[in-house]
Structure 1
Amino acid sequence: MARPKSDDKRNALLLAAEQVFAQRGLAAAPTSAISKQAGVAEGTLFTYFRTKDELVNALYRSIKLDLADALMSRFPRQGPVRDRLEYLWNAFVDWGVANPQRLNVLDQLSVADTVSDESKAVGYEPFAEIETLAQTSIKTGVLQAYPVEFVAASMKALAETTMAFMTAYPAEATRYRKVGFEVFWNGVTGNTKS
Protein backbone atom coordinates (compact mmCIF):
# COMPACT_ATOMS: atom_id res chain seq x y z
CA MET A 1 0.00 0.00 0.00
CA ALA A 2 1.37 3.42 -0.96
CA ARG A 3 1.99 5.98 1.74
CA PRO A 4 -0.36 8.97 1.71
CA LYS A 5 1.17 12.13 0.30
CA SER A 6 2.12 14.85 2.75
CA ASP A 7 1.15 18.50 2.20
CA ASP A 8 4.29 19.46 4.12
CA LYS A 9 6.54 17.58 1.67
CA ARG A 10 4.69 18.98 -1.33
CA ASN A 11 5.03 22.51 0.03
CA ALA A 12 8.71 21.90 0.84
CA LEU A 13 9.28 20.83 -2.76
CA LEU A 14 7.50 23.94 -4.10
CA LEU A 15 9.58 26.19 -1.84
CA ALA A 16 12.76 24.38 -2.83
CA ALA A 17 11.89 24.77 -6.52
CA GLU A 18 11.29 28.48 -5.97
CA GLN A 19 14.67 28.84 -4.25
CA VAL A 20 16.57 26.86 -6.88
CA PHE A 21 14.85 28.66 -9.79
CA ALA A 22 15.69 32.00 -8.18
CA GLN A 23 19.36 31.01 -7.81
CA ARG A 24 19.96 29.12 -11.06
CA GLY A 25 17.16 30.07 -13.41
CA LEU A 26 14.44 27.77 -14.62
CA ALA A 27 16.36 26.10 -17.44
CA ALA A 28 19.48 25.42 -15.36
CA ALA A 29 17.69 23.91 -12.36
CA PRO A 30 17.80 20.11 -12.31
CA THR A 31 15.25 18.19 -10.27
CA SER A 32 18.13 16.71 -8.25
CA ALA A 33 18.99 20.21 -6.96
CA ILE A 34 15.36 20.81 -6.03
CA SER A 35 15.14 17.49 -4.17
CA LYS A 36 18.40 18.22 -2.35
CA GLN A 37 17.20 21.71 -1.37
CA ALA A 38 13.96 20.18 -0.03
CA GLY A 39 15.89 17.53 1.88
CA VAL A 40 14.19 14.60 0.15
CA ALA A 41 15.26 11.84 -2.23
CA GLU A 42 14.89 12.70 -5.90
CA GLY A 43 12.35 9.91 -6.29
CA THR A 44 10.20 11.64 -3.69
CA LEU A 45 9.87 14.69 -5.96
CA PHE A 46 8.39 12.45 -8.66
CA THR A 47 5.91 11.02 -6.17
CA TYR A 48 4.40 14.49 -5.88
CA PHE A 49 5.05 15.82 -9.40
CA ARG A 50 5.28 13.38 -12.31
CA THR A 51 7.55 15.70 -14.29
CA LYS A 52 9.52 18.92 -13.86
CA ASP A 53 6.90 20.62 -16.03
CA GLU A 54 4.17 19.56 -13.60
CA LEU A 55 6.23 21.02 -10.75
CA VAL A 56 6.73 24.26 -12.71
CA ASN A 57 2.98 24.56 -13.31
CA ALA A 58 2.16 23.88 -9.66
CA LEU A 59 4.65 26.54 -8.56
CA TYR A 60 3.28 29.06 -11.07
CA ARG A 61 -0.25 28.52 -9.77
CA SER A 62 0.89 28.74 -6.16
CA ILE A 63 2.68 32.06 -6.65
CA LYS A 64 -0.13 33.56 -8.75
CA LEU A 65 -2.71 32.60 -6.12
CA ASP A 66 -0.53 34.07 -3.36
CA LEU A 67 -0.25 37.31 -5.34
CA ALA A 68 -4.01 37.29 -6.00
CA ASP A 69 -4.67 36.96 -2.30
CA ALA A 70 -2.38 39.92 -1.57
CA LEU A 71 -4.01 42.12 -4.23
CA MET A 72 -7.62 41.05 -4.30
CA SER A 73 -8.57 40.04 -0.73
CA ARG A 74 -9.24 43.66 0.29
CA PHE A 75 -9.59 45.21 -3.16
CA PRO A 76 -12.11 48.09 -3.01
CA ARG A 77 -14.85 47.23 -5.46
CA GLN A 78 -16.36 50.71 -5.31
CA GLY A 79 -14.92 54.20 -5.40
CA PRO A 80 -12.86 56.33 -7.76
CA VAL A 81 -10.71 54.50 -10.31
CA ARG A 82 -7.61 56.32 -9.09
CA ASP A 83 -8.12 55.08 -5.52
CA ARG A 84 -8.74 51.54 -6.68
CA LEU A 85 -5.66 51.48 -8.91
CA GLU A 86 -3.57 53.06 -6.16
CA TYR A 87 -4.72 50.30 -3.81
CA LEU A 88 -3.58 47.68 -6.37
CA TRP A 89 -0.31 49.52 -6.85
CA ASN A 90 0.43 49.64 -3.13
CA ALA A 91 -0.59 46.00 -2.59
CA PHE A 92 1.60 44.83 -5.50
CA VAL A 93 4.59 46.93 -4.44
CA ASP A 94 4.27 45.73 -0.83
CA TRP A 95 4.05 42.10 -1.97
CA GLY A 96 7.04 42.47 -4.28
CA VAL A 97 9.23 44.17 -1.67
CA ALA A 98 8.29 41.48 0.88
CA ASN A 99 8.74 38.62 -1.63
CA PRO A 100 11.60 39.46 -4.02
CA GLN A 101 12.42 35.80 -4.64
CA ARG A 102 8.79 34.97 -5.51
CA LEU A 103 8.62 37.98 -7.83
CA ASN A 104 11.84 36.91 -9.57
CA VAL A 105 10.55 33.37 -10.07
CA LEU A 106 7.12 34.56 -11.20
CA ASP A 107 8.80 36.71 -13.84
CA GLN A 108 10.68 33.63 -15.08
CA LEU A 109 7.60 31.40 -15.03
CA SER A 110 5.44 33.99 -16.79
CA VAL A 111 7.52 33.62 -19.94
CA ALA A 112 8.26 29.88 -19.65
CA ASP A 113 7.02 27.65 -22.45
CA THR A 114 6.41 24.90 -19.88
CA VAL A 115 3.60 26.81 -18.13
CA SER A 116 0.42 25.43 -19.67
CA ASP A 117 -2.50 27.45 -20.99
CA GLU A 118 -4.61 25.87 -18.26
CA SER A 119 -2.23 27.12 -15.55
CA LYS A 120 -2.16 30.57 -17.15
CA ALA A 121 -5.97 30.63 -17.09
CA VAL A 122 -6.02 29.61 -13.43
CA GLY A 123 -3.43 32.28 -12.66
CA TYR A 124 -5.33 34.96 -14.59
CA GLU A 125 -8.83 34.27 -13.22
CA PRO A 126 -8.50 36.08 -9.87
CA PHE A 127 -7.30 39.20 -11.73
CA ALA A 128 -10.11 39.35 -14.32
CA GLU A 129 -11.83 42.03 -12.27
CA ILE A 130 -8.83 44.33 -12.76
CA GLU A 131 -9.01 43.94 -16.54
CA THR A 132 -12.73 44.73 -16.44
CA LEU A 133 -11.99 47.85 -14.38
CA ALA A 134 -9.36 48.94 -16.91
CA GLN A 135 -11.64 48.32 -19.90
CA THR A 136 -14.52 50.23 -18.29
CA SER A 137 -12.18 53.07 -17.35
CA ILE A 138 -11.00 53.31 -20.95
CA LYS A 139 -14.57 53.31 -22.30
CA THR A 140 -15.59 56.08 -19.89
CA GLY A 141 -12.48 58.14 -20.68
CA VAL A 142 -10.88 57.93 -17.22
CA LEU A 143 -7.89 56.14 -18.76
CA GLN A 144 -6.35 56.75 -22.16
CA ALA A 145 -7.36 54.30 -24.89
CA TYR A 146 -4.17 52.27 -24.69
CA PRO A 147 -4.27 48.47 -25.04
CA VAL A 148 -5.08 46.97 -21.62
CA GLU A 149 -2.17 44.51 -21.90
CA PHE A 150 0.21 47.42 -22.47
CA VAL A 151 -1.17 49.32 -19.46
CA ALA A 152 -0.77 46.20 -17.28
CA ALA A 153 2.79 45.58 -18.51
CA SER A 154 3.68 49.25 -17.98
CA MET A 155 2.28 49.16 -14.46
CA LYS A 156 4.24 46.01 -13.65
CA ALA A 157 7.51 47.40 -15.04
CA LEU A 158 7.14 50.71 -13.23
CA ALA A 159 6.11 48.94 -10.01
CA GLU A 160 9.21 46.72 -10.20
CA THR A 161 11.38 49.82 -10.71
CA THR A 162 9.68 51.37 -7.69
CA MET A 163 10.32 48.20 -5.66
CA ALA A 164 14.00 48.35 -6.56
CA PHE A 165 14.25 51.96 -5.38
CA MET A 166 12.29 51.22 -2.19
CA THR A 167 14.66 48.36 -1.41
CA ALA A 168 17.79 50.34 -2.24
CA TYR A 169 16.65 53.43 -0.32
CA PRO A 170 14.45 52.22 2.55
CA ALA A 171 14.39 55.63 4.23
CA GLU A 172 12.76 56.99 1.07
CA ALA A 173 10.47 54.00 0.43
CA THR A 174 7.21 55.89 1.05
CA ARG A 175 8.28 58.68 -1.29
CA TYR A 176 9.24 56.26 -4.08
CA ARG A 177 5.97 54.33 -3.70
CA LYS A 178 4.00 57.58 -4.12
CA VAL A 179 6.16 58.95 -6.94
CA GLY A 180 5.97 55.64 -8.81
CA PHE A 181 2.19 55.64 -8.68
CA GLU A 182 2.02 59.29 -9.77
CA VAL A 183 4.20 58.55 -12.80
CA PHE A 184 2.00 55.56 -13.68
CA TRP A 185 -1.28 57.43 -13.15
CA ASN A 186 -0.17 60.46 -15.14
CA GLY A 187 0.96 58.21 -17.96
CA VAL A 188 -2.29 56.22 -18.26
CA THR A 189 -4.61 59.19 -17.80
CA GLY A 190 -2.71 61.63 -19.98
CA ASN A 191 -2.31 64.07 -17.09
CA THR A 192 0.80 66.05 -17.88
CA LYS A 193 1.88 68.98 -15.84
CA SER A 194 4.07 71.26 -17.87
Structure 2
Amino acid sequence: MSSKITTATDKKQAILDSALQLFVSNGFNATSTASIAKAAGVATGTLFHHFPTKSDIMSQLFLSIKQEFANNMVSNTQLSGDIEKDANNLWQKAIDWAIAQPLKQLFFLQYSMSADIDIAVRKQAMTSILGFVVELIEQGKQQGIIANFPNELLLENCHGQYLAAIRFFTDNPQLGSNPQHRSASFKLFWHAMKAQ
Protein backbone atom coordinates (compact mmCIF):
# COMPACT_ATOMS: atom_id res chain seq x y z
CA MET A 1 0.00 0.00 0.00
CA SER A 2 1.45 3.35 -1.05
CA SER A 3 1.59 6.26 1.35
CA LYS A 4 1.43 8.70 -1.58
CA ILE A 5 -1.10 11.48 -1.41
CA THR A 6 -3.62 10.57 -4.07
CA THR A 7 -6.76 12.68 -4.05
CA ALA A 8 -7.17 16.43 -4.36
CA THR A 9 -8.77 16.47 -0.91
CA ASP A 10 -5.78 14.63 0.56
CA LYS A 11 -3.37 17.06 -1.11
CA LYS A 12 -5.29 20.08 0.10
CA GLN A 13 -5.35 18.70 3.65
CA ALA A 14 -1.65 17.88 3.49
CA ILE A 15 -0.96 21.48 2.48
CA LEU A 16 -3.04 22.79 5.39
CA ASP A 17 -1.42 20.37 7.87
CA SER A 18 2.06 21.36 6.71
CA ALA A 19 1.21 25.06 6.78
CA LEU A 20 -0.09 24.72 10.35
CA GLN A 21 3.18 23.14 11.48
CA LEU A 22 5.34 25.69 9.66
CA PHE A 23 3.32 28.78 10.59
CA VAL A 24 3.49 27.82 14.27
CA SER A 25 7.20 26.92 14.26
CA ASN A 26 8.56 29.55 11.83
CA GLY A 27 5.93 32.28 11.67
CA PHE A 28 3.79 33.36 8.73
CA ASN A 29 6.31 35.69 7.09
CA ALA A 30 9.25 33.28 7.40
CA THR A 31 7.29 30.42 5.82
CA SER A 32 7.44 30.21 2.04
CA THR A 33 4.87 28.52 -0.17
CA ALA A 34 7.73 26.37 -1.51
CA SER A 35 8.51 25.12 2.01
CA ILE A 36 4.82 24.33 2.59
CA ALA A 37 4.62 22.40 -0.70
CA LYS A 38 7.81 20.49 0.12
CA ALA A 39 6.61 19.59 3.63
CA ALA A 40 3.25 18.50 2.19
CA GLY A 41 4.90 16.36 -0.46
CA VAL A 42 3.17 18.15 -3.33
CA ALA A 43 4.38 20.20 -6.28
CA THR A 44 4.34 23.97 -5.86
CA GLY A 45 1.91 24.15 -8.79
CA THR A 46 -0.46 21.85 -6.90
CA LEU A 47 -0.30 24.16 -3.90
CA PHE A 48 -1.16 27.18 -6.07
CA HIS A 49 -3.98 25.22 -7.69
CA HIS A 50 -5.62 24.87 -4.28
CA PHE A 51 -4.45 28.16 -2.75
CA PRO A 52 -3.52 31.06 -5.06
CA THR A 53 -1.66 32.86 -2.24
CA LYS A 54 -0.09 32.15 1.12
CA SER A 55 -2.78 34.37 2.65
CA ASP A 56 -5.42 32.04 1.17
CA ILE A 57 -3.74 29.13 2.96
CA MET A 58 -3.76 31.10 6.22
CA SER A 59 -7.44 32.06 5.83
CA GLN A 60 -8.54 28.50 5.05
CA LEU A 61 -6.46 27.12 7.90
CA PHE A 62 -7.89 29.64 10.36
CA LEU A 63 -11.50 28.98 9.30
CA SER A 64 -11.12 25.19 9.28
CA ILE A 65 -9.57 25.15 12.77
CA LYS A 66 -12.27 27.53 14.04
CA GLN A 67 -14.92 25.22 12.57
CA GLU A 68 -13.35 22.17 14.24
CA PHE A 69 -13.22 24.13 17.51
CA ALA A 70 -16.88 25.18 17.19
CA ASN A 71 -18.02 21.67 16.24
CA ASN A 72 -16.27 20.29 19.30
CA MET A 73 -17.92 22.85 21.58
CA VAL A 74 -21.45 22.07 20.43
CA SER A 75 -21.11 18.30 20.01
CA ASN A 76 -23.08 16.47 22.69
CA THR A 77 -23.95 19.80 24.33
CA GLN A 78 -27.52 20.35 25.40
CA LEU A 79 -28.17 23.98 26.22
CA SER A 80 -30.35 24.21 29.32
CA GLY A 81 -31.49 27.81 29.02
CA ASP A 82 -29.50 28.71 32.15
CA ILE A 83 -27.16 31.23 30.52
CA GLU A 84 -24.36 31.03 33.09
CA LYS A 85 -24.45 27.21 33.23
CA ASP A 86 -24.51 26.94 29.42
CA ALA A 87 -21.66 29.46 29.10
CA ASN A 88 -19.61 27.50 31.66
CA ASN A 89 -20.21 24.21 29.81
CA LEU A 90 -19.12 25.76 26.51
CA TRP A 91 -16.13 27.44 28.17
CA GLN A 92 -14.93 24.19 29.73
CA LYS A 93 -15.32 22.33 26.43
CA ALA A 94 -13.30 25.08 24.73
CA ILE A 95 -10.52 24.73 27.30
CA ASP A 96 -10.60 20.91 26.93
CA TRP A 97 -10.26 21.27 23.15
CA ALA A 98 -7.27 23.60 23.51
CA ILE A 99 -5.50 21.23 25.90
CA ALA A 100 -6.16 18.27 23.58
CA GLN A 101 -4.99 20.17 20.47
CA PRO A 102 -1.67 21.80 21.48
CA LEU A 103 -0.53 22.68 17.94
CA LYS A 104 -3.87 24.21 16.99
CA GLN A 105 -3.98 26.00 20.33
CA LEU A 106 -0.56 27.53 19.62
CA PHE A 107 -1.84 28.58 16.20
CA PHE A 108 -4.77 30.37 17.87
CA LEU A 109 -2.46 32.06 20.35
CA GLN A 110 -0.16 33.27 17.59
CA TYR A 111 -2.67 34.28 14.95
CA SER A 112 -6.15 34.89 16.37
CA MET A 113 -5.48 38.61 16.81
CA SER A 114 -2.80 38.90 14.16
CA ALA A 115 -2.86 41.18 11.14
CA ASP A 116 -1.90 38.05 9.16
CA ILE A 117 -5.58 37.05 9.37
CA ASP A 118 -7.81 39.25 7.23
CA ILE A 119 -10.43 41.13 9.25
CA ALA A 120 -13.26 39.72 7.10
CA VAL A 121 -12.03 36.18 7.85
CA ARG A 122 -11.90 36.90 11.59
CA LYS A 123 -15.40 38.39 11.44
CA GLN A 124 -16.71 35.33 9.56
CA ALA A 125 -15.24 33.06 12.22
CA MET A 126 -16.75 35.04 15.09
CA THR A 127 -20.23 35.72 13.73
CA SER A 128 -20.88 32.75 11.48
CA ILE A 129 -18.87 29.77 12.72
CA LEU A 130 -19.34 30.78 16.36
CA GLY A 131 -22.91 31.95 15.79
CA PHE A 132 -24.13 29.89 18.76
CA VAL A 133 -22.04 32.15 21.03
CA VAL A 134 -23.72 35.22 19.51
CA GLU A 135 -27.12 33.60 20.21
CA LEU A 136 -26.15 32.87 23.82
CA ILE A 137 -24.99 36.47 24.29
CA GLU A 138 -28.25 37.78 22.82
CA GLN A 139 -30.32 35.57 25.13
CA GLY A 140 -28.24 36.70 28.09
CA LYS A 141 -28.68 40.35 27.18
CA GLN A 142 -32.45 39.90 26.78
CA GLN A 143 -32.63 38.29 30.23
CA GLY A 144 -30.50 41.04 31.77
CA ILE A 145 -27.77 38.54 32.68
CA ILE A 146 -25.10 39.68 30.22
CA ALA A 147 -24.04 43.32 30.00
CA ASN A 148 -25.82 45.30 27.31
CA PHE A 149 -22.75 46.21 25.26
CA PRO A 150 -22.38 45.90 21.46
CA ASN A 151 -22.15 42.25 20.41
CA GLU A 152 -18.95 42.82 18.42
CA LEU A 153 -17.24 44.15 21.54
CA LEU A 154 -18.59 41.34 23.72
CA LEU A 155 -17.35 38.75 21.19
CA GLU A 156 -13.88 40.29 21.12
CA ASN A 157 -13.88 40.28 24.91
CA CYS A 158 -14.90 36.58 24.96
CA HIS A 159 -12.12 35.83 22.53
CA GLY A 160 -9.51 37.76 24.48
CA GLN A 161 -10.52 36.10 27.75
CA TYR A 162 -10.32 32.66 26.11
CA LEU A 163 -6.86 33.36 24.66
CA ALA A 164 -5.67 34.54 28.09
CA ALA A 165 -6.97 31.34 29.70
CA ILE A 166 -5.39 29.01 27.16
CA ARG A 167 -2.12 30.94 27.38
CA PHE A 168 -2.20 30.38 31.15
CA PHE A 169 -2.89 26.65 30.77
CA THR A 170 -0.20 26.38 28.06
CA ASP A 171 2.35 27.96 30.38
CA ASN A 172 1.10 25.88 33.34
CA PRO A 173 0.05 22.52 31.85
CA GLN A 174 -0.08 20.86 35.27
CA LEU A 175 -3.04 23.13 36.10
CA GLY A 176 -5.08 22.26 33.00
CA SER A 177 -7.02 19.60 34.90
CA ASN A 178 -7.09 21.46 38.21
CA PRO A 179 -10.79 22.12 39.04
CA GLN A 180 -10.04 25.29 41.02
CA HIS A 181 -8.06 26.88 38.20
CA ARG A 182 -10.56 25.75 35.57
CA SER A 183 -13.42 27.20 37.63
CA ALA A 184 -11.48 30.42 38.25
CA SER A 185 -10.81 30.81 34.50
CA PHE A 186 -14.56 30.73 33.85
CA LYS A 187 -15.38 33.05 36.76
CA LEU A 188 -12.93 35.66 35.45
CA PHE A 189 -14.52 35.39 32.01
CA TRP A 190 -18.06 35.51 33.41
CA HIS A 191 -17.31 38.49 35.64
CA ALA A 192 -16.29 40.46 32.54
CA MET A 193 -19.47 39.49 30.66
CA LYS A 194 -22.28 39.68 33.19
CA ALA A 195 -24.52 42.63 33.83
CA GLN A 196 -23.57 44.51 37.00
Q: TM-score, normalised by structure 2?
A: 0.80
The 8 Å contact of residues 77 and 84 in structure 1, kept in 2 or not, is answered as yes
**Cα distance between partner residues in 2 of 1:109 and 1:35:** 24
Q: Which runs of 4+ in 1 moved over 6 A?
A: none
- Tell me if structure 2 keeps the 8 A contact 1:25–1:108: no
Pairing of 1:83-94 with structure 2 (within 5 A):
83-94=85-96
3-state SS of paired residue (1:145): coil
Matching of residue 151 in structure 1 with residue 154 in structure 2:
yes
2:105 corresponding residue in structure 1: 103
What do residues 61-92 of structure 1 show as CA deviations (whole Å, max 9, x unaligned)?
A: 21121111111223333330011100111111
Q: How does 1:38-77 map to 2 (within 5 A)?
A: 38-77=40-79
Q: Tell me, which stretches of 5 or more residues in structure 1 are unaligned? A: none
Q: Is the 8 A contact 2:154 2:193 kept in 1?
A: yes
Cα distance between partner residues in 1 of 2:122 and 2:155: 19
Match of 1:8 in 2: 10
Tell me by how many angstroms 1:114 deviates.
5.9
Cα 1:181–1:118 change in 2 (3 A) is closer
What is the CA-CA distance between 1:134 and the residue it aligns to?
0.6
Deviation at 1:126, TM superposition (A): 3.0
Q: Partner letter of residue 44 of structure 2?
A: E
Unaligned runs of 5+ in 2: 1-5
Indicate the residue corresponding to 1:187 in structure 2: 192
Q: Percent of counterpart pairs with the same letter?
A: 27
Superposed, 1:23-34 pairs within 5 Å as: 23-34=25-36
Cα distance in 1, alignment partners of residues 173 and 25 from structure 2: 24
Shift of 1:108: 1.6
For the residue of structure 2 that corresponds to 1:125, the secondary structure is: helix
Pick closer, same or farther for the CA change 1:87–1:37 going to 2, 3 Å: same
Rounded to whole Å, the distance in 1 between the matches of 2:181 and 2:189 is 12
Residue number in structure 1 paired with 2:3: none
Q: Using the alignment, how far apart are the partners of 2:123 and 2:159 within structure 1?
A: 17
Task: Give 1:136 shift.
Answer: 2.4
Following the alignment from structure 1 to structure 2, what is the Cα–Cα distance between the partners of residues 187 and 21?
32
User: Which residue number in structure 2 is paired with residue 135 of structure 1?
Assistant: 138
With the length of structure 1 as denominator, give the TM-score of the two structures. Answer: 0.80
CA distance in 2, matches of 1:158, 1:113: 21
- Given that 1:93 and 1:160 are in contact with CA atoms closer than 8 Å, whether structure 2 keeps it comes out as no
CA-based RMSD of the aligned residues comes to 2.7
